[in-house]
Amino acid sequence: MKNSKNQVNRRNALKTLSLGSTAGILGFFGSSDTRASTPKSHAPTPSYTIGVQVKITKVRAIITAPYGTNLVIVKVETDQGGLYGLGCATFTQRAHTVVSAIEEYLDPFCKGKNVSNIEDIWQTAYQSSYWRNGPVLNNALSGLDQALWDIKGKMAGMPVYDLLGGKVRFAIDTYTHASGKSISEVIDNVAKYKEEGFRNIRIQLGGYGSTHLATDPDWKRAGFGSQGDQTIDPQAYKRGTVEMFKKVREKFGDDIELLHDMHERLQPMDAIDMIKKVEEYRPFFIEDPFSPENMGWFNMLREHTSVPIAMGELLNNPHEWLEPMKNRQYDYIRIHISQIGGITPAMKVARLGEWFNVRTAWHGPGDTSPVGHAANAHIDYAIWNFGVQEAARVIRTPEDKVLEVFPGMPTVTNGYMSVNEKPGLGIDINEKLAKKYPPVVYNYNWTQLRGEDGTPIRP
């Protein structure tokens, strides 16, 4: 009896010591002047810092369009007052379907789960639908995953990049978009962005595929298709792009890096031909030369040119990038973090790339929300094989209303993206203001592209 009592006393003492050590460690991480908002003596200690499990009480979607693009934000609420996380689940083309997946399926699935078990929640949610790897379900899962990492950072009193291993770089090198309907207009925009400090600039002659170079198509005269559909003239696009690279390189020399997005607009042999022709102008990379249906052409492309290739924004199944990365078929993995399911799988992709010298260039367009850009940035800080980060206008030069809806969003200065040092992802959402910008009707013309005879052209 006496021995049993002594054992209980020893266990209690060890438990007290353990809790004290945990509190001390958490106090250490929270004591930095850049992270502590109030003196330690005045801030109540949250119960989750002393070993209490934090449970999910609600997973819900917030849909808003402060700059005319439908953004879907996931908010994960907990049983600890004021503790919540945000994630990006934006799939503009199917925004309302993603909202349904979040609120009708992920919410009841996640209620009562321990927010700390991110990997377990990801794995079980991923297979909960049995059929998986589709963009709708992956986007919903991505929003949940990012929100859980946001919560974990807040619980630890650390930015998410610290949880991922800490910074490997002081800031995140980005590229921006310089386009124009004429080459002279492209050159003017390149000069402007170079003056702003950007070292990497994507150049596009008009929209994807230079559709403005195709005039009076036969299918329109025949009354086929829809009025807003666009047309591509593959040879005009190829000629215009090669000439654009030539003129821009002549104007700026090798002082800047030039990128270009083909957006899967050409047939494989035309794509290979164009990439070979721009090789002498030393592109930093050419993005998405082939559609996902044409991945088998990469071996031929590699045999014919040394131009670096970036690929992947349409990929959402791990098997779509596993073999190509292993076989070094491209140089930059350019997947969309919401397409693949969030920070958890993105870190695995980055680590995979490290073994095969494939660098990251996460997709960061305007239809990634500011929350999604923050998630990109935290990963970018922490991974060794980072390449470059796309920085859309919403991050480069955000409007005041966007800053008000998303306080704490990343910033870009001198071409470098930075995040604040707040715990978690460092970004919030003003739900009251978000309601002022309801979802808009999606314009499908952006994806509707036809050949001269009216044949639909993928992506």
Record the tokens describing residue 54, joined without a space.
């934090």
**Closest residue by Cα to residue 26 from 152, 118, 170:** 152
161, 175, 208, 237: the active-site residue:
208
Within 10 angstroms of residue 139's Cβ, the number of other Cβ atoms is 32
Whether 437 sits among the annotated catalytic residues: the reply is no
**Closest residue by Cα to residue 373 from 385, 363, 386:** 363
Query: Going by C-beta distance under 8 Å and a sequence separation of 6 or more, which residues neighbour residue 313?
Result: 287, 288, 334, 335, 336, 339, 363
- Helix crossing, 135-156 with 118-127: angle to 10°? 170
Query: Going by C-beta distance under 8 Å and a sequence separation of 6 or more, which residues neighbour residue 420?
Result: 408, 426
In eight-state DSSP terms, residue 46 is P
Whether 263 sits among the annotated catalytic residues: the reply is yes
Angle at 272 between CA 268 and CA 275, to 5 degrees: 135
Distance set, CA 223 to CA 227, 380, 444, 447, 450 (Å): 9, 48, 19, 19, 13
Task: Name 257's bridge partners.
Answer: 200
Task: Name 456's bridge partners.
Answer: 450
**Closest residue by Cα to residue 408 from 420, 416, 397:** 420
Could you list the beta-strand ranges (E) of 241-308: 257-261, 285-287
Instruction: Give the integer Cα–Cα distance in Å for 334 and 288.
Output: 9
Distance set, CA 443 to CA 137, 160, 185, 376, 432 (Å): 22, 35, 26, 26, 26
Instruction: Give the integer Cα–Cα distance in Å for 349 and 340.
Output: 10
Record the tokens describing residue 354, joined without a space.
């490290």
177, 260, 263, 363: the active-site residue:
263
Q: Please return the burial class of 195, using the count of CB atoms within 10 Å of its CB with bins 0-12, 13-18 and 19+.
A: exposed
Contacts 24+ apart (CB under 8 A), 276-283: 276/304, 276/305, 276/307, 277/238, 277/242, 278/241, 278/242, 278/245, 278/307, 279/305, 279/306, 279/307, 281/245, 281/246, 281/248, 281/249, 282/249, 282/254, 282/258, 283/245, 283/258, 283/259, 283/307, 283/308
Q: What spatial distance separates the first Cα and last Cα of the chain, rounded to whole Å?
A: 75
Instruction: Specify the residue for token string 């030393």.
Output: 282
Which residues have a catalytic role annotated? 208, 263
